[in-house]
Amino acid sequence: MRPVFANSAFVSAPERFYLRGGGWRPVPLRVRYGLFEHPTAGLVLIDTGYGPRVTQGKRSLGLRLYNAILGPDLVTSGQPAAVLQRLGFTPDDVSIVIVTHFHADHVAGLDAFANARIIAKQEMLGRVLRAPVRANLRHGIFTELLPAGLLSRTVDVDGFALIEAPLGLGKGRDLFGDGSVLAIDLPGHAAGHFGLCFSAMPRPLLYAVDAQWCGDALVPERRPGFPASLVADDPLALAESTRRVLAFQEASGEVLLCHDPAVSPHDLSKGMP
């Protein structure tokens, strides 16, 4: 079982913003989401990426401003429905969506998966739904992107059994009871942020999501400071999560990050299948 990752959009940012010592040139960052087919759980999505609900149509003032500031350039062929169609599926075939955190670039397409169970931090979802609009806006969260009734079909990721992850990564939540996919807490970027370790692969893969925005930033001397630190929910926790991700990589594990501009062997090409 091998996950693949599609790119829903590009967002340009100065390299210096996410990489210490980087230049001022704008770099198109990817906005990935993943999918894999589990032998018993079926088709599983990892987040949903950006979608048109962020960039067009009726939206709150906050979401319109968010879109104007970040300017995501949607990849039409990389939207979940288009990717699923190329792979021979429809959105109704998706049995589970794993939501690593509730930022707009990870949940904007959730409304297309009304039949799917959601695996997420249930407590965090409840907090998001109860929080004032201004508090959510500060963290790039927009409840208008969350479908009605989402909490009722959410399974708490913290309810799964804890087992040891490979290569000294620590403990993770065994999502399917077979040790193949482990949810790994990686706090700091956002409250409740977690990654996924595909521990049964010949070379274990850690999808570290937004622990950093590019692989080079895992190295201590290249980690970004101000103003990137303003985006972090907890800069100290983020530094520790980054250290753990780097240690996993140095122990021969493979790491993939959501926004890394570099092409990964796990990325779906435009021509697939």
CATH of the domain at 94: 3.60.15.10
Residue 227, pLDDT score: 67
| Contact by Cβ (8 Å): 12, 71 | yes
Q: Which residues of the chain have pLDDT under 70?
A: 226-230, 270-273
Do the domain assignments include residue 250?
yes
Residue percentage of the chain with pLDDT more than 70: 96
Do the domain assignments include residue 193?
yes
Do the domain assignments include residue 266?
no
Do the domain assignments include residue 271?
no
Do the domain assignments include residue 95?
yes
| Contact by Cβ (8 Å): 33, 8 | yes
Enclosing domain of residue 210: 4-257
Three-class SS state of 21? coil
Q: Helix-strand-coil percent breakdown of the chain, rounded to 5?
A: 35, 25, 40
- pLDDT tens track for 28-83: 999 999 999 999 999 999 999 999 999 999 999 999 999 999 999 999 999 999 99
Q: Provide the mean pLDDT of the chain.
A: 94
Do the domain assignments include residue 267?
no
Q: What's the domain count of the chain?
A: 1
Do the domain assignments include residue 52?
yes
Q: Which residue has the tokens 């009871």?
A: 177
Backbone angles phi, psi at 183, to 5 degrees: -85, 125
Residue 17, pLDDT score: 86
For the entire predicted model, the pTM comes to: 0.95
Do the domain assignments include residue 273?
no
Bridge partner residues of 35 (DSSP): 4, 45
